[in-house]
Structure 1
C-alpha cells in the first residue's frame, strides 16, 4: 500500500481551490458534495488545498506556497506534486467506496468504479443506515463484540439474511433481529499456501483471510500473506494447528517446505 486511504469530514471547513476551467470546476463539485467551503486563496483555518493550473511552473509555485502554510495539497494531473490524491468514488451514502491508483491512472480507477457501480444496488446506503439505527438492539441481542460481529458477518455473507447485493436487504433488518439466529460452533480451516506471494492466493483463501477471527501460522509465513487478513484478526505464531480452536473462524496457514 503506497497511500493511506482516509475519509475526511469537510462539512463547514475551508478548502482552498486555485485555478479555473473544467478541472477546477470538477474539484469544486467534489468539495461541494462533501460540504466544504471554497476559497481561492489561503485563509486561517484552511487545512487542504487543490491546485488546478495548466502551467506547471505556476502550479508548482502555488503548491509550494500553500504547503509552506501547513496545508496538504493536491495538484491536478501532477501526482509527483501531490500530498494526497482524490479517488474515483462510488457514492451510496452513507456508504462510500473509493478507488485510487496513487495518481498512476485515473482511467483505471474510473473503469474499476464503473464495474463496482454496476454491482451495488442503489439502496445499499439504506442498509447501512438501518444497521446504524439498530446498534443498541444488536448490542442487547449479542452483548459481546465478537458474537455481534459474527452474527453481522453471517447476515451480510452472500445469500445471507442481509446480503448487501440484495436491493431489499434494508427492509429485512428488523426481521433479522427478531429471528432465531443459530450460533456458529468454532471452525478451523486450513489454507495450503503455494508461494509467499499474496497474488497467488486462491479466491477462497483470500475470502477466508478476510473473514477469520484467528490466524495460526508458522513464523516463516510471508508477512505479505498475513497482511491480507482482517486488521483485527488475532495472529498466533505456532508450529502446528491448535488442539482446540477458539470461538469463531480460525485459519491454519500451511507453507510448503520448498517455498
Structure 2
C-alpha cells in the first residue's frame, strides 16, 4: 500500500516561511508558525515553504511553485504540496494526525480523543528514556537484546499510556529482567487487516521477527515493527531465536 504523503517533522526555528492572507485562517497559521519558531515573511522573500490563505489561491500558488517553493493552500487540498496536521504536544513527544487535507474536522476530533488517552507524563518518560541510554547500553550491550528489553518495558512497566512517576525509568532499570524467548502462532481468519484481533495487532507491533506463510497479505505484515525481520516459511520454526517471534498463516 502506497503512502499518499510522507509525514515528516521539519525544524523551522529561525527559518523564513511565507504566509499570504488575512483573517482567522491566516491568523491561526501564523500562530502555529510562530510557535515553531519560524520567521513569518511575505511573498517577496526567499523561502522553502509557503502557506496561502486567500479565497482565490490559484495564481499565487502557481507563482510560488514556479520558484520551487512547497505550498499549503488553506482548505484547498488539491493545491497543497504539504498539509498541516492536528498536533498533540507532549514535549518532546509530538503526535501529528493528518488526513491529507480531506477532513481537518476529523483530524481535530481524533486529536481530542487522543489527548484524553495520553498522560501528561509522556514527555517526562521520553526524556527519562533519553537520559537512560548509557545505562541501557551498559546493561544490554547487544543491540537486539536491548531492543527486546525496551519493547517489553513499553508493553508493561513503562506503558506510555499510563501516567508514570518521576523515577519510572530508573526503577525499571533496577528491576528489569531479560525478556523470555517466545513464539506466538496465529491462524488469521481473514486477509483484511481490519480483522486482526487486538492480541494479534499487539504481538505484531512488538515482535522481533515475523515468520509467515507466503500467502499472508503484505498489508498485514506491514503492521509489524519496521525493524522486525520477516521470514517467509511453510511452517512454524522449531528454533525461532531469542525475544518475541510471531508465526502467521491463513485459515484454510
Query: Equivalents in 2 of 1:204, 1:42: separation in Å?
Result: 55
Cα drift, residue 7 of structure 1 = 0.8
Please list, as runs of the form range in 1=range in 2, the aligned pairs for 1:117-128 lying within 5 A after superposition: 117-128=115-126
* 1:10 alignment partner in structure 2: 12
TM-score for the superposition, normalised by structure 2: 0.95
* 1:105 alignment partner in structure 2: 103
* 1:216 alignment partner in structure 2: 211
Alignment partner of 1:51 is 2:49: no
Query: Equivalents in 2 of 1:65, 1:143: separation in Å?
Result: 54
Query: Equivalents in 2 of 1:84, 1:111: separation in Å?
Result: 21
Cα-to-partner distance string for 1:82-127 (whole Å, 9 max, x where unaligned): 0111111111010011111111111111111001101111121111
Aligned partners of 1:42 and 1:66 also within 8 Å = no
* 1:151 alignment partner in structure 2: 149
TM-score for the superposition, normalised by structure 1: 0.92
Cα drift, residue 29 of structure 1 = 1.0
Cα drift, residue 42 of structure 1 = 4.0
Aligned partners of 1:51 and 1:63 also within 8 Å = yes
* 1:167 alignment partner in structure 2: 163
* 1:66 alignment partner in structure 2: 64
Query: Equivalents in 1 of 2:61, 2:172: separation in Å?
Result: 52
Q: After alignment, is 166-175 or 59-68 more displaced?
A: 166-175
Cα drift, residue 166 of structure 1 = 3.1
Please list, as runs of the form range in 1=range in 2, the aligned pairs for 1:1-259 lying within 5 A after superposition: 1-44=3-46, 46-54=47-55, 56=56, 59-157=57-155, 160-177=156-173, 179-257=174-252
Cα-to-partner distance string for 1:160-189 (whole Å, 9 max, x where unaligned): 322223323442212222x14221222100
1:35 match: secondary structure: coil
Query: Equivalents in 1 of 2:12, 2:25: separation in Å?
Result: 20
1:229 match: secondary structure: coil
- C-alpha spacing 1:134/1:42, structure 2 compared with 1 (3 Å): farther
Q: How many residues align?
A: 250
Query: Equivalents in 1 of 2:167, 2:104: separation in Å?
Result: 36
What root-mean-square deviation, in Å, do the aligned CA atoms of Structure 1 and Structure 2 show? 1.3
Aligned partners of 1:138 and 1:148 also within 8 Å = yes
- C-alpha spacing 1:220/1:42, structure 2 compared with 1 (3 Å): farther
